[in-house]
């Protein structure tokens, strides 16, 4: 009887171990990295830039990029949050669906505090307000004047409900006493493409997404939604210089489902920071308008906790209701 019990106990332990992942044998199959916006968006571009370097550090692992857009990134984030915590389904994303969406979306399919854990910060970037090169809008003063002359007629594009783009636009509406109609898209790329096509009067967009169209002469940046002037664009004014309090911060992070083993998360953090340390990656990030900000997993978790509180207060102050 005791022998039978020992056999059953051993089998149980073996089965339990078979269902876990350890850094020693990780990865042993393909890894999927969710970039929850369409191809061409900032998150997609960064994921594809880092993909080969992370794969190299992980011994030549195959890393697949999955673009699952929708609900301002919440669809893709939710899929990762519900995934098995084994290190084979991961997330690269801007901060909006992590720290802003919980204060803006009523039916968010995840809780970032409970369903995700940080692997590491990737970079910071900047949010611009851009218009078409042919637009009569030359400055933020023009935006405010025209919006007051024709309430509700002007439009602004965003990366979706709950994005930094959305919040910046609604805070500007409230603080300037104007009404510019919000037009959400499934990602920042489509919003900027519609601006290039003259389907919008203006659009918020991250500097990496807007930069190429500024270089080509299609768009102009009239302001930045940042707390201080951007070193790479010192002549571009801040919205907050005209309307105080209209500012955001934008960063990109690498996440895993909650309960992913610590040693696997540590190995992924090493791989990420290895990629970020490569000179060609840093040069590409700079060209994209990104500032590399490597971190530990704990530092990203702390940043998420701090920003969840910050954006909850900001959204409340702006009077934006959950949708």
Q: What is the pLDDT of residues 144-166, one digit of tens each?
A: 999 999 999 999 999 887 778 88
Residue 186 DSSP SS3:
coil
CA 197, distance to chain mean position in Å, is: 24
pLDDT at residue 309 above 70?
yes
Q: What is the pLDDT of residues 53-108, one digit of tens each?
A: 999 999 999 999 999 988 888 999 999 999 999 999 999 999 989 999 899 888 89
- Dist CA 78 CA 63 (whole Å): 20
Count of CB atoms within 10 A of residue 64's CB? 10
- Please report the pLDDT score of residue 218 as a whole number: 98
In degrees and rounded to multiples of 5, residue 181 shows phi and psi of -75, 130
CB 259 within 8 A of CB 80: no
Q: pTM score, two decimals?
A: 0.76
202-206, strands of its sheet edge to edge:
181-184, 155-158, 202-206, 127-132, 219-224
The pLDDT of 217-237, averaged and rounded, is 94
% of the chain beyond a pLDDT of 70: 92
Domains and their CATH numbers in the chain: 29-125+250-318 (3.40.190.150), 127-242 (3.40.190.10)
The pLDDT of 220-246, averaged and rounded, is 94
The pLDDT of 232-256, averaged and rounded, is 94
The structure tokens 């007629």 sit at 153
């Amino acid at each position: 009887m005791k022998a039978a019990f020992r056999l059953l106990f051993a089998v149980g332990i073996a089965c339990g171990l078979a269902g876990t992942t350890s850094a020693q044998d990780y990865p042993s199959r393909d890894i999927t990295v969710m970039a929850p916006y369409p191809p061409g968006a900032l998150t997609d571009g960064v994921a594809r830039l880092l993909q080969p370097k992370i794969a190299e550090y992980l011994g030549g692992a195959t890393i697949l990029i999955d673009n699952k857009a929708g609900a301002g990134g919440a669809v893709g984030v939710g899929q990762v949050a519900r995934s098995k915590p084994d290190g084979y389904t991961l997330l690269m994303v801007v901060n909006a669906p992590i720290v802003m969406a919980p204060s803006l979306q009523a039916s968010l399919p995840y809780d970032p505090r409970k369903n995700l854990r940080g692997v590491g910060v990737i970079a910071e970037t900047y949010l611009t307000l851009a218009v078409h090169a042919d637009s009569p809008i030359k400055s933020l003063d023009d935006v405010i004047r025209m919006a007051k002359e024709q309430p509700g007629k002007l439009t602004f594009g965003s990366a979706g409900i709950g994005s930094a783009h959305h919040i910046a636009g609604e805070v500007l509406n409230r603080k300037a006493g104007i009404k510019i109609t919000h037009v959400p898209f499934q990602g920042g790329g489509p919003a900027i493409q519609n601006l290039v096509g003259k389907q919008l009067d203006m659009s918020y967009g991250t500097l990496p997404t807007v930069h190429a169209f500024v270089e080509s002469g299609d768009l102009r940046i009239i302001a930045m939604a940042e707390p201080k002037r951007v070193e790479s664009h010192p002549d571009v004014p801040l919205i907050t210089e005209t309307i105080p309090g209209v500012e955001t911060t934008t960063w990109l992070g690498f996440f895993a489902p909650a309960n992913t083993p610590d040693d696997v998360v540590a190995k992924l953090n090493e791989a990420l920071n290895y990629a970020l340390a490569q000179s060609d990656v840093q040069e590409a990030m700079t060209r994209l308008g990104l500032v590399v900000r490597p971190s530990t997993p704990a530092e990203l978790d702390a940043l998420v906790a701090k920003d969840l509180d910050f954006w909850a207060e900001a959204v409340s102050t702006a009077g934006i209701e959950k949708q």
